[in-house]
Amino acid sequence: MKEREKPKSLEESVEAALLDADLFVKYKAPQRAVERLQEAIAHWPRSIVLREKLREIAFSHGLSDEAARQCLVLVNLYIARENFDSAHERLLEAKHIDPRLNIAPGLEAIRRARRPDLQQAAPAPAPPAPAAAPRPVTFAGDLSTVSIFDAVQVLENSRLTGALAVEGPARKGRVLFNDGRIVDAECGEARGTFAFRLLVEVTSGGFDFAKSKNEFPIRIQALSNTNLILDTLRQMDEEKNEVVE
């Protein structure tokens, strides 16, 4: 009988999340990278490495609210570790990202933490509430502007059932969703995961989503959309490396 797989340690889980995030960024899917890191942070909320990576990706891809939020959380984590220089640096960075923030309480918290003989530090400012994500019913876009990964993210968040039609210069097809989950794909004669792989490679052209009242038969049985996309990107990456070698 096959041995039960041992649970990953903190270091292994963090390393896996960082590698996945880098892979998403490499294939121009920063929102998926952010989602992957947020998922890991939910399990390891005090991991500075994960939060620093999330801050870095969010800032470099224009996700200002998330970047500022992570800066403020990192301030508290650095104070707890008595790394006051890093706490001060992240606090100033949060102010630079969002000039509306009042960092006076944070500065006071750092000052009091440096001097434990003073009164108990006031709590650091709470992170700004994330903006509510739009939940469109149907939508269309240009793949040179909105990647297929971003389109999948919208459909997943909105828990929509329907078909995402993708058409590029050389190929076209559909990705089918049940309640926001990818369950099948069609591209020419190809079906399932191979068809999805072919459509992921389409980076120019357009897409259009049409809702469906009925669910589709399940041909793709991935644990999640994230896992399916990661497996596809890894396969593409391995094939590219083989060609280079």
Torsion of CA 79, 83, 86, 92, to 10 degrees: 40
pLDDT at 117: 58
Reading the block at residue 56, the tokens are 């870095």
Q: pLDDT confidence of 1, banded at 50, 70, 90?
A: very low
For range 110-132, the mean pLDDT: 60
If 0-12 CB within 10 Å is exposed, 13-18 middle and 19+ buried, where does residue 72 land?
buried
pLDDT at 164: 93
Using a pLDDT cut of 90, give the percent of the chain over it.
Answer: 37
Interatomic CA distance for residues 69 and 67, integer angstroms: 5
Q: Any idea what the Cα angle at residue 148 is, between residues 44 and 170, rounded to 5°?
A: 145
Domains and CATH numbers, the chain: 10-114 (1.25.40.10), 140-244 (no CATH)
pLDDT at 121: 44
Say how many CA atoms lie within 13 Å of 163 toward its Cβ: 14
pLDDT at 135: 38
Question: Any alpha helices (H) in the chain, and if so which ranges?
Answer: 10-26, 30-43, 48-60, 64-80, 84-97, 104-114, 148-158, 192-200, 225-244
- Identify residue 130 by its one-letter amino acid code: P
For range 53-63, the mean pLDDT: 93
Instruction: Dump pLDDT digits (tens) for 156-187.
Output: 888 889 999 999 998 999 999 999 999 999 99
Reading the block at residue 118, the tokens are 């003073």
What is 109-157 written as a DSSP string?
HHHHHH-TTSSPPPPPPPPPPPPPPP--SS-EEETTTS-HHHHHHHHHH
How much is the mean pLDDT over the chain?
A: 84
Count the Cβ atoms, other than its own, within 10 Å of residue 56.
15
Interatomic CA distance for residues 42 and 13, integer angstroms: 12
pTM: 0.62
Q: pLDDT confidence of 116, banded at 50, 70, 90?
A: low
Instruction: Dump pLDDT digits (tens) for 197-239.
Output: 999 988 888 899 999 999 999 999 998 998 999 998 888 888 8
Look at 115 and 65; give whichever has higher pLDDT: 65
* pLDDT surpassing 90 at residue 145: no
pLDDT at 245: 58
| Sheet of strand 190-191, all strands in order from the earlier edge strand to the far edge | 140-142, 206-211, 162-167, 172-178, 181-187, 190-191
Q: What b/e readout covers 158-176, taking b as 16+ CB neighbours within 10 angstroms?
A: bebbbbbbbbbeebbbbbb
Instruction: Dump pLDDT digits (tens) for 80-101.
Output: 888 988 988 898 898 888 888 8
Instruction: Dump pLDDT digits (tens) for 210-219.
Output: 999 999 999 9
